[in-house]
Amino acid sequence: MPAAYEQYLVPVVFQPFAGDLAARAAALRPRRILELAAGTGVFTSALLVAAPSAKVTATDLNEAMVAFGSARSPGAVWRQADAQRLPFPDGGFDLVACQFGVMFFPDRIGAFAEVRRVLAPGGRFLFNTWGSLGAHAFEFALQAGLERAFPVDPPQFFRTVPHGYADPAVVAADLAAAGFAVEEEQELTLQGWAASTADLATGYLTGTPVRAAVEERGDGPAVRATVTEEMTARLGPGPVTAPMTAFVFRAAA
């Protein structure tokens, strides 16, 4: 799964936002950065370039992602870690950053409280979340393809998890409940570019948690063909470009 995620999705969906978030992080001039939910290391790599003097510790819950990311971005210190039980002392970092990971935390307020614990006084928490499913053209088309492939009980992972934390007021309230003061909240729309809808379908169906749901429900190649056809109908043939909307938050401990 990490290899498919890295090959087909990272350049299209995550790379554009990684550069933006890394520039925001570097502007804070941090010396000790903790990254949560680092995945295969796309944001880690951007951080290492944007803030070359900072010590970066990258973490992920998934050991396979840690193994892949540590090979991709060896300039960081990599650790397997649960964001809700961080294995670090109080006040050990002046920036905690996370690219599109907070949506996956089962207890977000608890995880945010852990982030605040490991931040030094005055430290910052910088992260982004996806907007609504309808504001992410690639994944909206993908969900339509899944619903066409599975008219009864289609997988709802993209609607409920990546795009299930899309209300900025809810995010801000959770930060406040964990003791943070929100300094900045910005809606950001960037363009993604993919070589083909077939590549996108392959990435989403084999490089994300929806893979297991598809395998449980039916024939993988047939599902991929149906999803690709629906995505092509909505996004067009050949290379495709589409908007993706996210929210960026910066909060102070």
> Helix/strand/coil (H, E, C) string of the chain?
CHHHHHHHHHHHHHHHHHHHHHHHHHHCCCCEEEEECCCCCHHHHHHHHHCCCCEEEEEECCHHHHHHHHHHCCCCEEEECECCECCCCCCCEEEEEEECCHHHCCCHHHHHHHHHHHEEEEEEEEEEEECCHHHEHHHHHHHHHHHHHCCCCCCCHHHHCCCCCCCHHHHHHHHHHCCCEEEEEEEEEEEEEECCHHHHHHHHHHCCCHHHHHHHHCCHHHHHHHHHHHHHHHHCCCCEEEEEEEEEEEEEC
How many domains does the chain contain in total?
1
Question: What is the reported pLDDT for 237?
Answer: 86
Centre a 10 Å sphere on the Cβ of residue 140 and count the other Cβ atoms it contains.
21
Q: What is the mean pLDDT of residues 206-219?
A: 87
pLDDT value for 16: 97
Q: How confident is the model at residue 246 (pLDDT cuts 50, 70, 90)?
A: very high
CA dist., res. 147 & res. 150, Å (int)? 5
The number of C-alpha atoms within 13 Å of 117 and in the hemisphere containing its C-beta is 14
CATH number at residue 61: 3.40.50.150
- How far, in Å, CA of 71 to CA of 250, rounded? 29
Q: In this structure, what are the phi and psi dihedrals at residue 139, rounded to the nearest 5 degrees?
A: -80, -25
pLDDT for position 217: 79
| Rounded-to-integer distance, Cα 24 and Cα 46, Å | 11
Can you tell me the distance from the alpha carbon of 162 to that of 190, in angstroms, rounded to the nearest whole number?
Answer: 17
Assign 236 a pLDDT band (cuts: 50, 70, 90).
very high
pLDDT at 84: 95
Task: Give the pLDDT of residue 222.
Answer: 92
Q: How high is the pLDDT of residue 209?
A: 92
**pLDDT attached to residue 106:** 96
Which pTM value belongs to this model? 0.95
**Average pLDDT, whole number, for the chain?**
96
Calculate mean pLDDT across residues 65-91: 96
**pLDDT given at position 220:** 82
* Among 96, 45, 102, residue whose Cα is nearest residue 69: 45
Query: Is-contact 181 125, C-beta < 8 A?
Result: no
- Mean pLDDT value of segment 87-108: 98
Supply the pLDDT for residue 78: 98
For residue 121, what are the domain limits? 2-252
Query: What distance in Å separates the CA atoms of residue 45 and residue 172, rounded to the nearest whole number?
Result: 28
Q: How far is CA 249 from the centre of its chain?
A: 14
